[in-house]
Structure formats: C-alpha cells, structure tokens
Structure 1
C-alpha cells in the first residue's frame, strides 16, 4: 500500500503545488480571466493565503515521507487539504459553479490520509 500512497501523494502534490503557485503568482483579475471567477469576489490577501495553504499542503504530502522526518505529517497535510476542498466546494456551490474538481481532489486527499495513517 505504500506504493499507492506515494503515487497518490505525488499526483496530489503536483496538482496542489501548481494551483497554489498560480494563486500566489497571479492577481485575482488574472485568475478570474483564466476561469477562477471566484477570485474577483475574494480579497487579494485571501487568494494568496489559499495559495499558500495549497503549497504548504503539497509540500506536507511529500517531504515528510521523502525525508522520513515526522511521516505522520503527510496524512495530516492530506486532512488539511480535505478541509480546504470543503471550503472550495462551499464557495462553488454558493456561486452555482461547477464543483466537481474540488470533490475529486477531496476524495483523493481523503484516500491519501487513510492510506497514510494505515502505513504509519
């Protein structure tokens, strides 16, 4: 099961790292122009904070397992990303937008957390 955990965590880390860096590097208007329309109704600081949470979550999925230092942090990071996706789903539901991407990421992050705790 450790191989499945690594595969899931690498994919999740890549997705959340890319999403987080995008939110950190671009303005809310640029994000809205690329399809993230929620960003125009959210403060710049909040958008940057969401990006930082996603980057830290991505690093938390990978680094503890890769270094062997506090590997319990990997499933905890996955739980944090589950909570972030719950927030994303709520925002998308309120805006009557498609919320399937955060649902899929939530499910995959939950599987990562479960596998991570099983493999401790």
Structure 2
C-alpha cells in the first residue's frame, strides 16, 4: 500500500505541478485560447492563485516525506487538493462541462486516497 500511495502521489504531483506552472507562466487570455476556457470565469489574479495552490500541493505531496521534514504535510497537501477539486467540480458543473467533471472526480478520488492513506494506515508518523 505504501508503494501505491507513493506512485499515486508522484503522478498527482507531476500533473498538478504542470497545471500550476502553466497557470503561472501564461496570461489568462492565452490559457483561454489554448483550451482552458474555464479561466474566463476568474480574474487573472485568481487564476495565478489557483496555479500557486496547485504547485504548493504538488510539492507538498512529495518533498516533506522524501526529505523527512514535517511529513504530516503530505496528507494536508492531499486535503488541499481535495478542496481544489471540489471547487473545480462546482465550477465545471456551472459551465455544464461533463468531461472536465469526470477528470476532476478522478483526481478528487486519488487525492482522497492519498489523504486517507497518509493520515491512516500508511501514516509517516506511525
């Protein structure tokens, strides 16, 4: 189970690091034009804030445990991603974007798995 949690956390970290970095590096207009029209619902500052949260969560899923510095941050980062995905699902529901909701539900389930596993049976503090 420990290895599975590391793999899931690693894959999620890569995905959210890429997503967050994209939101931070590109202006809102370019993101909207390149297939992310949901950013039109938010201010440029909100898009950057979401990008920062995604990057912080990606880092928080891996580094605290890998460096053995405050490993309790791993499940907390997963909980942060759960909250981000709930917000994303609500946003996509309002926009009637079913395909995006499916992706967000899958990411939500993986984040819940990591949070449960790292708070519970495969905790770094136990």
TM-score normalised to structure 1 length: 0.96
1:30 and 2:30 correspond: yes
Deviation at 1:100, TM superposition (A): 1.1
* CA distance, structure 2, for counterparts of residue 14 and residue 116 of structure 1: 19
Q: Which residue of 2 aligns with 1:92?
A: 92
Q: Which residue of 1 aligns with 2:53?
A: 53
Q: Which residue of 2 aligns with 1:17?
A: 17
Once the two structures are superposed, residues 53-76 of structure 1 have per-residue CA deviations (whole angstroms, 9 ceiling, x without a partner) of: 000000000001100111111011
Once the two structures are superposed, residues 27-85 of structure 1 have per-residue CA deviations (whole angstroms, 9 ceiling, x without a partner) of: 11111112111112210000000000000000000001100111111011000000000
Q: Count matched residues.
A: 120
Q: Which residue of 2 aligns with 1:119?
A: 122
Q: Which residue of 2 aligns with 1:72?
A: 72
Q: Which residue of 1 aligns with 2:103?
A: 101
Once the two structures are superposed, residues 84-104 of structure 1 have per-residue CA deviations (whole angstroms, 9 ceiling, x without a partner) of: 000000000001113111111
Q: Following superposition, which runs of at least 4 residues in structure 1 exceed 3 angstroms of deviation? A: none
Unmatched 5+ stretches in structure 2: none
Q: CA RMSD in A?
A: 0.8
